[in-house]
Amino acid sequence: MKTAVYPGSFDPITLGHLNIIKRTARIFDKVYVCVMKNSDKNPLFTREERVELIQRIVKHLDNVEVETADGLLVEYAKSKGARVVVKGLRAVSDFDWEFQMALANRKIDPAIDTLFMAASEKYTFLSSTVVKEMAKYNADLRDFVPREIIDDIVKKMESKR
């Protein structure tokens, strides 16, 4: 069985992330979307909330599971029997950091490969940070995130005001 891990902070999940998840799910037998510990000290959603939001969106994708992990990504991948970590690339600016991480991960465990997937041109501008910035000013979020989670973002933003 071919298994992949798609890691990220997903604070919150965007249509760009969802596009990568769907395409990855078409290539692999099993995909684990893994909500990693956020380097952002002040995230909008807790990790448990982020897991729940993603689960709600991918529930119709039979071969996708959503989990959370501390620790090293390669350890998590190994524990799932995954040999591939998928990363989305939006622009050259993503490349430097992602390439460095891919090499570092390979150093730790040469059995795990990183696969870069080109972002859909529709979503190259999109990041969780952009979504949070737009939500702050009550912008229409329908072009940015799946509709099922718009209310959650609006409510969360209000609770933080």
Query: Which positions lie near ligand ADP, rule CB under 6 A?
Result: 8-10, 14, 16-17, 20, 87-88, 90, 94, 119, 123, 126-129
| Identified catalytic residue from 23, 30, 56, 90 | 90
Residue with tokens 């390439």: 99
Shortest distance, position 154 Cβ to ligand ADP, whole Å: 19
Annotated active-site residue in 39, 41, 60, 159:
41
Nearer to ligand ADP, 88 or 146 (CB): 88
Tell me whether residue 56 is one of the annotated catalytic residues: no
Phi/psi of residue 6, nearest 5 degrees: -115, 100
- Of the pair 80, 87, the CB lying nearest ligand ADP is at 87
Distance (Å, rounded) from C-alpha 36 to C-alpha 53? Answer: 14
Residue 60 known to be catalytic: no
Question: Across-strand partners of 35?
Answer: 8, 68
Q: Is 90 a catalytic residue?
A: yes
Please tell me which residue in 50, 80, 128, 132 is annotated as part of the active site: 128
The distance of closest approach from Cβ of residue 127 to ligand ADP in the complex, given in angstroms and rounded to an integer, is 4
Nearest approach in angstroms of CB 38 to ligand ADP is 8
- Smallest gap from residue 126 Cβ to ligand ADP (A): 4
23 among known catalytic residues? no
In DSSP notation, 18-78 reads HHHHHHHHHHSSEEEEEEEPPS-SS-SS-HHHHHHHHHHHHTT-TTEEEEEE-S-HHHHHH
Query: Which residue is catalytic, options 9, 17, 87, 132?
Result: 17
CB-neighbour burial class of residue 32 (10 A; exposed 0-12, middle 13-18, buried 19+): buried
What are 120's strand-pairing partners?
A: none
Q: What residues are labeled active site?
A: 17, 41, 90, 128
